Amino acid sequence: MSRLVRTDFDSVPVIDFAGMLTGDPAAKADVAANLRDACSNVGFFYIRNHGIPQALMDRMFAQSERFFRIPAADKKAIHVKKSPHLVGYVGMGEENADPTVSKGDVHEGFDFIAEDVETTFGFMEGDFRKAGNQWPANLPGFREVMTEYTIAVRLLARRLFAAFALGLDLPEDYFAPMSNKPMALTRMMYYPSQSGPLDLAHMGVGAHTDHECFTILAQDSVPALQVRNRRGEWIDAPPIPGTFVVNIGDLMARWTNGAFASTFHRVFNATGRIRYSIPTFVGANADAVIRALPSCISDENPPQYEPVVAGEYVSQLIYHNIHQHSAPHPAKPAQ
């Protein structure tokens, strides 16, 4: 991999991912090259033609609206504090992604993790935290839609790992043994509209980077996400129908020895409308050892980070923030 020379950005690129769904090596190489540029210069990109049906995304957003409308007592019955792995419901103001300026993030959330499941293309192992899931009562069909979505997103995550490998001058299946049972947490997010000018003390979610390898974000039609470039400017990442927003997390930045950028981002919803979003945070296998990739080191660019075990690294970040800020999981990413 050639020496990295970064340029700045004023928009988030849109990449046609269709080539990774074919068996054509040239088409895959073209997608991989575009991803590499986006990951190196921006750390964020949209993907279209990703293989996940719009109908499934629509059903997920319908379930999100359904969940956040249930009585407060029913949501609190499955609060994250009742889960050994901090999955379940998160209340308004209970997280704080940027405690240096914020008094608490203005959102609610529901977290769940991939479970073991048999699919038409084989058995898929769930997240190592799968025992912690809590499901709402009296919402028939809810869990089934969530499960269908996690299967689809994990398949997309496999294809993204393959594209990243090609973009890093590695064999297409390089990441497969270290990501075949990945940490994979999905959040359903509810953001009320906030009146007045942008207020850093009361953001939908304050400025932060994500902990894992990458995030696959589904947005509804309400714009609120912003990404910070190297000049310190906040660039809008508005919804584009039929796309996901993907961003690189801290773990992948370490794995690529800094070649891929884990970029700060935030949410502020001043649209006058409720916003829903659904990020899935994709890591490596919990026991994977993350060290600088062979194609990302050289005499001029030696390893910048000590090796870490993926599960320990992510867990330490989450639990450190719990201890430091006395909230359920104040720096768990949200978008």
Q: What pLDDT is recorded for position 333?
A: 46
Closest CA to 281 of 226, 331, 215: 215
Q: What pLDDT is recorded for position 123?
A: 80
User: In this structure, are residues 235 and 208 in contact, taking their beta carbons and an 8 Å threshold?
Assistant: no
Sheet architecture: strand order including 205-208: 205-208, 265-267, 225-228, 234-236
Helix axes 25-41, 142-167, angle to 10 degrees: 90
User: In this structure, are residues 246 and 45 in contact, taking their beta carbons and an 8 Å threshold?
Assistant: yes
Burial 277-313 (b: 16+ CB within 10 A, else e): bbbbbbbbbbebebebbebbbeeeeeeeeeebbbbeb
Alpha-carbon span 223 to 240, nearest angstrom: 10
User: In this structure, are residues 277 and 335 in contact, taking their beta carbons and an 8 Å threshold?
Assistant: yes
Q: What pLDDT is recorded for position 121?
A: 75
Alpha-carbon span 131 to 164, nearest angstrom: 30
What class, spelled out in words, does domain 14-325 have in CATH?
A: mainly beta
| 3-state SS assignment for residue 245 | strand
Ordered per-residue pLDDT tens for the chain, 335 residues? 545 556 678 899 999 999 999 989 999 999 999 999 999 999 999 999 999 999 999 999 999 999 999 999 999 999 999 988 889 999 999 999 988 898 899 999 999 998 888 877 778 888 887 777 999 999 999 999 999 999 999 999 999 999 999 999 999 999 999 999 999 999 999 999 998 889 899 999 999 999 999 999 999 999 999 999 988 999 999 999 999 999 999 999 999 999 999 999 999 999 999 999 999 999 999 999 999 999 999 988 899 999 999 999 988 876 654 444 333 333 344 56
Domain boundary assignment for the chain: 14-325
Q: What pLDDT is recorded for position 111?
A: 96
Q: What pLDDT is recorded for position 114?
A: 87
Q: What pLDDT is recorded for position 5?
A: 52
